[in-house]
Chain A
Amino acid sequence: MLEAAELAAVRGERAVFAGVSFQLAPGGALLLAGRNGAGKSTLLRVLAGLLRPADGKVLWDGTDALADRAAHAGRLAWVSAQDAVKPGLTVAETLDFEAAITGGQAGPGLAAFALEELAEVPVRMLSTGQRRRLALARLALAPRALWLLDEPTLGLDTASVARFGALAAAHRASGGMVVAATHLPLPLPDAAELALP
């Protein structure tokens, strides 16, 4: 159970949002909506423990999640708006590295987004959508309780969106949670929506 209580965040002396509260049960999904600059990405950073909230708490099963940031990081899979992939590595090297540092296997990542035939291609040769598939493939490396996603399907073709939907459905069926910031319709059935003012 993930719970946010009266969260507020400040970036560069400016209040981005305040008083954000929600609850997310195992298997649940939460879509963050709001205009550009409403603080969707900032809220994801707060939930990940990358940004300290100015006020409020993030609770995991009732206890302060950010008290032990390393333990909290171990529950997360993080895909930000940036793909965070290195142009100098191949697709397989990228996933091997990610699997080595987060624990897990590169194979399921390649398979989940049909990247097998691109495995030996350098990332710098990939299209925008292919890079996004590679970034999302890290979701399949190891099971994590909470996915934090920023515009996960931006630039994806319909087949890849469907693959993302299948992966997310399996994740939620096993009790995983998803928090996603998006302007696009996502294949996450019965997701709750949180509108940031």
Chain B
Amino acid sequence: MRPFLALIRRDLRLALRHGADTLASVLFFAVAAALFPFAVGPAPETLSRIAPGVVWVVALLAALLPLERAFAADAEDGALDLLLLSPLSPSAIAVARAATHWLTTGLPLLVAAVPAAVLLRMDPAALPALLAGLVPGTLAMSLLGTAGAAIALGARRPGVLLPLLVLPLMVPVLVFGVAAAEAAAMGASPRPHLLLLGAVLALAATLAPPAAAAALRQGGG
């Protein structure tokens, strides 16, 4: 457990010292969400109808931004070899990296989702359901995205490959996440959708780390 926590602590420390990189995805989220009122017009009924979908799509795209570098920096400077030779299993390395990604990207996006939802005139009744859905949604994104980053490692254009690998896998998360918020806005219970989101997260937590581990091992040869 000590090596695992040490890796997360180091990655968090590096993320804080390179604060601009860490803030970039939240700023992207805020700017992209703020573009929608300009694009579709400020009419509250139009905006509030598309608000959950916009928050979700923009959050997923924003979470994708830092993933390209999730393993690339360590692969370039040789630190990944050292990690692969450490007592940490490749799965543990992937889980630690996913945890760092969630803490530095998923969590700030959750906070930023509140003003974005207000800006988009989302029904306040839907806000708890939106956030309750974003928690497992961003966690699944971190896990699947880390696996995608491990697979895209060494590709000539990882920035292009990564969205193509990860975003199709995120479709179920998007469907249930938006459905939860819309159900709450219409006065129905978001619970079934949130449970399905939990199921998707459980699946991602089971499948993503071994996939990332296999890719990391393969990357070394």
Does A51 have its Cβ within 8 Å of any Cβ on chain B?
Answer: yes
Cβ B17 vs Cβ A88 within 8 A: yes
- Chain A 74-99 interface residues, beta-carbon cutoff 8 Å to B: 74, 76, 78, 80-86, 88-89, 93, 97-98
1/0 contact string of B130-157 vs chain A (CB within 8 Å): 0000000000000000000000000000
Pick the 7 closest A-B CB pairs, nearest first.
A51-B221, A82-B78, A100-B6, A84-B78, A101-B3, A88-B17, A50-B220
Which residues of B sit under 8 angstroms from A45, Cβ to Cβ? 81, 220-221
User: In the complex, what's the smallest C-beta–C-beta distance from A159 to chain B, in angstroms?
Assistant: 25
Per the 8 Å Cβ criterion, residues 12-38 of B in contact with A are 13-14, 17-18
B18 touches A88 (CB 8 A): yes
Query: Contact: A80 with B86, CB < 8 Å?
Result: no
Given contacts A50-B81, A85-B79, 6 further A-B contacts (CB under 8 A): A46-B221, A48-B85, A51-B220, A84-B81, A84-B82, A86-B77
* A102 contacts chain B at the CB level, 8 A cutoff: yes
Query: A163 at interface (Cβ–Cβ under 8 A)?
Result: no
Question: B86 near A73 (CB under 8 angstroms)?
Answer: yes
Q: Which A residues touch B13, using CB under 8 A?
A: 88-89, 93
**Smallest CB–CB gap between B23 and chain A, Å?**
15
- Judged by a CB distance under 8 angstroms, whether B89 is at the interface is yes
* A interface residues, how many (CB within 8 angstroms): 28
51-85 of chain A: CB within 8 A of chain B: 51-52, 70, 73-74, 76, 78, 80-85
Q: Enumerate chain B residues within 8 angstroms of A52, measured Cβ to Cβ.
A: 221
Contacts of B6 in A (CB 8 A): 97, 100-101
Chain B proximity of A12: nearest CB distance (Å): 11
Q: How far is the CA of A73 from the CA of B93 in the complex (A)?
A: 15
Residue total for B at the interface (Cβ-Cβ under 8 A)? 24
- A80→B87 contact, CB < 8 A: no
Q: With A and B bound together, what is the CA distance between A101 and B10 in angstroms?
A: 11
- B86 CB contact (under 8 Å) in A49, A82, A101: A101
Residues of A within 8 A of B (CB): 45-46, 48-52, 70, 73-74, 76, 78, 80-86, 88-89, 93, 97-98, 100-103
A101 with B221: in contact, given A84-B81, A88-B18 (CB under 8 Å)? no
The reply to whether A83 and B14 contact each other, CB–CB distance below 8 Å, is: no
| Alpha-carbon distance between A83 and B82 when the two chains are bound, in angstroms | 10
| Distance (whole angstroms) from the CB of B209 to the closest CB of chain A | 16
Q: Across the A-B interface, how many residue pairs have beta carbons closer than 8 Å?
A: 73
**18 A-B residue pairings within 8 Å (CB atoms):** A45-B221, A46-B221, A48-B85, A50-B220, A70-B89, A73-B86, A73-B87, A85-B77, A85-B79, A86-B79, A88-B17, A88-B18, A97-B7, A100-B3, A101-B6, A101-B88, A102-B3, A102-B86
Contact A70 B87 (CB under 8 A): yes
| Known A50-B221, A82-B78; contact A100-B2, beta-carbon cutoff 8 A | yes
A76 in complex: contacting residue of B10, B85, B89, CB < 8 Å: B85
Known: A50-B221, A70-B89, A100-B2. A84 touches B18 (CB 8 A): no
Set of chain A residues within 8 Å of B89, measured between Cβ atoms: 70
Q: By the criterion CB–CB under 8 Å, are B86 and A83 in contact?
A: no
Given contacts A76-B85, A93-B13, contact A83 B221 (CB under 8 A): no
Task: Give the shortest distance, in Å, between B78 (CB) and chain A (any CB).
Answer: 3
Known contacts A82-B77, A84-B78, A86-B77; is-contact A101 B87 (Cβ 8 Å)? yes
Q: How far is the CA of A101 from the CA of B9 in the complex (A)?
A: 11
Is B114 an interface residue when CB atoms closer than 8 A count as contact? Answer: no
**Minimum CB–CB distance for B61 against chain A, Å:** 26
